[in-house]
Amino acid sequence: MTDSATLIHPMQLGGLSLPHNLALAPMHKRTNLAFRLMARRWGAAFTYTEMAVPEDLLDGRRHRGGNRRRGGRLLASTPEDRPLGVQILPVHAGPLVEAIAMIAETGAGDLIDLNFACPSKKVAGIGVGAAFLRKPEAAVDLVKAAVAASRLPVTLKMRYGYTDAADDRRRALDLARAAVAAGAAAITLHARSAVQGYDERAAWERIAEWVEALAPVPVFGSGDLATPEAIMEMLRATGAAGVSIARGSVGAPWIFRQTLDLAATGAYQPVTPAERGRVFLEHFEALLAAVGEADAVRFLCHTGRMYAVDIPAAREAQAAIYKARSRDALYRVAAQYFGPGL
């Protein structure tokens, strides 16, 4: 056992037991059932749905069976897809409480995660998501309503501030403190300000600050976890209780297994081009079963390109995946670029 092995450990969030502390982060249009199941097969301890407003989740319940509807798809799950956090983008307390009651009643998830982190124009621009970082009282009211309504653990996804300014940082940390006092079971901190979006370097030192300020409530770190080495380094450098792995897993769901191996043995197996191709097709088949050929192809022509890295002719392969319009075309691309036998 390496020293690093102690950084990976089982966890308890309220009544929920997690086998270890490597989570698949919520990602809009990425972390659907097909991808969550793949991440789990490669070792993710738990996963989240992509964010959804309560109204869409409730719509899914009303139209259950008609699972081509957005809400039905958002909550689509299977017994293997557990433990599962349902991520909600709260707007008003009423629908939030109704959605939480529905999730508990139908067993649709094991944890409720509230998104106070999304900076996009469609979200923060209309006063929700990361916009709540500047309205801490309103956000705390939502957390209190959620905790009171939920017998499942309630957690928060946050940025460390709306901007990097000291008063924005203080407001965000005060919100996290108040949420914890109101009964939040954990906080995931995406270590960028909302205005930084996704591309600037994540400030892991903020995670270390929040770990200390919120102890003993667990803080999960998020941001720039692109490799198994980075994941272990974040755990080591920040003292975070766990990590929430986002873009590092897109086109690379094996990152969980590689990280577990790195922690346990100090090394991990790189994936071969043929394995990349195999997992790419596995992802396609899972999507095909869930949403049909047209939607599965449309979905993978974007994210599927992420599998085509570290292979010969990667750029050509990415372009060919982008252009593919059918199952047959995707299989031809896989055989041509990822190696024989696919």
Of 22, 118, 184, 219, which is the active-site residue? 118
Distance CA 72, CA 66 (A): 7
Q: Which stretch binds ligand FMN (CB under 6 A): 102-110, 111-119, 273-281, 311-319?
A: 111-119
Q: Is 184 in the site for ligand FMN (CB under 6 A)?
A: no
Q: Is 87 in the site for ligand FMN (CB under 6 A)?
A: yes
Total chain residues near ligand FMN (CB under 6 A): 22
Q: Nearest-CA neighbor of 282 among 331, 241, 324, 226?
A: 331
Among 9, 28, 61, 69, binds ligand FMN (CB under 6 A): 28
Distance CA 309, CA 317 (A): 9
Among 47, 222, 258, 259, binds ligand FMN (CB under 6 A): 222
Among 27, 53, 139, 286, binds ligand FMN (CB under 6 A): 27
Element (H, E) at 206: helix 204-214
Output the smallest distance, CB 156 to ligand FMN, in A: 10
Residue 332, classed as helix, strand or coil, is helix
Residue 17, strand partner residues: 12
Q: Is 118 a catalytic residue?
A: yes
Q: Is 217 in the site for ligand FMN (CB under 6 A)?
A: no
Q: Is 246 in the site for ligand FMN (CB under 6 A)?
A: yes
> How many residues does the structure list for the chain?
342
Among 223, 253, 277, 304, binds ligand FMN (CB under 6 A): 223
Among 24, 224, 257, 321, binds ligand FMN (CB under 6 A): 224
Q: Which is nearer to ligand FMN, 184 or 342 (CB)?
A: 184
Q: Nearest-CA neighbor of 321 among 297, 296, 293, 340?
A: 297
Beta strands in 19-171 (DSSP E): 22-24, 46-48, 84-88, 111-116, 154-159
Note whether 159 and 223 are within 8 A (CB).
no
Beta strands in the chain (DSSP E): 11-13, 16-18, 22-24, 46-48, 84-88, 111-116, 154-159, 186-190, 219-222, 242-245
Per-residue x/- mask for ligand FMN, residues 36 to 55, rule CB under 6 A?
A: --------------xx----
Q: Is 247 in the site for ligand FMN (CB under 6 A)?
A: yes
Q: Is 225 in the site for ligand FMN (CB under 6 A)?
A: yes
Return the structure tokens found at 311: 């292979």
The one-letter amino acid at 205 = E
Positions in the binding site for ligand FMN (CB under 6 A): 25-28, 30, 50-51, 87, 115, 117-118, 157, 190, 198, 202, 222-225, 246-248
Catalytic residues: 118
